[in-house]
Amino acid sequence: MIYRVVVCALAVCYLSNTADSSKKKGVTLTRWNLLCHDFAVYRNKVAWWYDWEDYPDYWDTMKGSCGPLLENRAAMVWGWRSEDRTIRIPHDATVVLGYNEPNHHEQANLTAREAALHWPDIQKAAGSRTLVGPSPTNCGPPSCDQDVWPWMDEFLQNCPQCRLDYVATHLYWCDPHREMAFLQRLYDRYHKKIWITEFACPYKQSLEDQLNYMKTILPLLEASPIVYRYSWFISRWEGDWFIAQNASLLHQHSSTPTPLGQYYLNF
């Protein structure tokens, strides 16, 4: 869940390519509210990161302020808005993520057939990089035309030769055991390990609710052989609607972990 908003970009710093605590754990961030020292907080605490973008231009223009570009980036081809779409994968990206919630009208908003039509272009641009499949979300009308299963089934039927090294999904039930059952069903159906590129408690749960959820779900994700990577939503969030600000890992105006961020980074 991320909306395409064009706002100012801030500087970024260096992120180490190793994580002391987890090889699965990542960070999800947005370029419009980054602070220069955010990545010093994440150093040696997360193994990968992404920002819903594929083009590297704004990182190139900002790297002089805070040092070299980040390592272990997963580039994302968020959607497909025109036939002349140019995919530009950063040279330092080792992973390419596919469409973001393509079945949701306010996200990538692609039919399964449309998504399959353009997937070979993404596959070509990815080259030898790890390629992670689209992440249709759990929803129904009026927000979505199809739920996860019919959308993904139709996508694969229309793209039988397409390469997917992993499948991707989002978790927003705030129910760890229901979510683990869903992940098992996802694995059993498509026989691919899973990248969880967003998860959190929705609908303004309290900080205590977020923390209790995190304390339950993280050990399950770490222990699961079918979960390959995961990333909490989000590093810093200014909204207060589907996801509340208390889901942020960092404070709004400083590169200081919130109580939630302290737990996540030290887990």
The predicted pLDDT at position 13 comes to 38
Residue 157 parent element (H or E):
helix 148-157
More confident: 129 or 64: 129
Residue 223 lies in a domain: yes
3-state secondary structure of 217: helix
Reported as a pLDDT band with limits 50, 70 and 90, residue 6 is: very low
Q: Could you tell me the two tokens for 54?
A: 């594929």
pLDDT tens-digit map of 162-195: 999 999 999 999 999 999 999 999 999 999 999 9
Reported as a pLDDT band with limits 50, 70 and 90, residue 129 is: very high
Residue 20 lies in a domain: no
Q: Cβ of 75: how many Cβ atoms within 10 Å?
A: 25
Q: Could you tell me the two tokens for 228?
A: 């390959």
Q: What is the total count of domains within the chain?
A: 1
Q: Could you tell me the two tokens for 111?
A: 């039919």
> Is the pLDDT at 260 greater than 50, yes or no?
yes
Is cis: bond before 142, omega within 30 of 0?
Answer: yes
129 Cα distance to chain centroid: 17
Reported as a pLDDT band with limits 50, 70 and 90, residue 44 is: confident
Q: Cβ of 106: how many Cβ atoms within 10 Å?
A: 11
Per the structure, the complete domain to which residue 40 belongs is given by 25-266
> Is the pLDDT at 81 greater than 80, yes or no?
no
The model's pTM is: 0.89
Q: What is the CATH number of the domain that holds 65?
A: 3.20.20.80
The string of DSSP letters for 10-30 reads -------S-BSS-SSEEEE--
Residue 161 lies in a domain: yes
Residue 6 lies in a domain: no
Region 241-261 average pLDDT: 96
Residue 149 lies in a domain: yes
Residue 37 lies in a domain: yes
Residue 16 lies in a domain: no
Region 199-214 average pLDDT: 94
Do 148 and 172 form a contact (C-beta atoms < 8 A)? no
Residue 19 lies in a domain: no
3-state secondary structure of 225: coil
Share of the chain above pLDDT 90, in %: 65
The predicted pLDDT at position 68 comes to 56
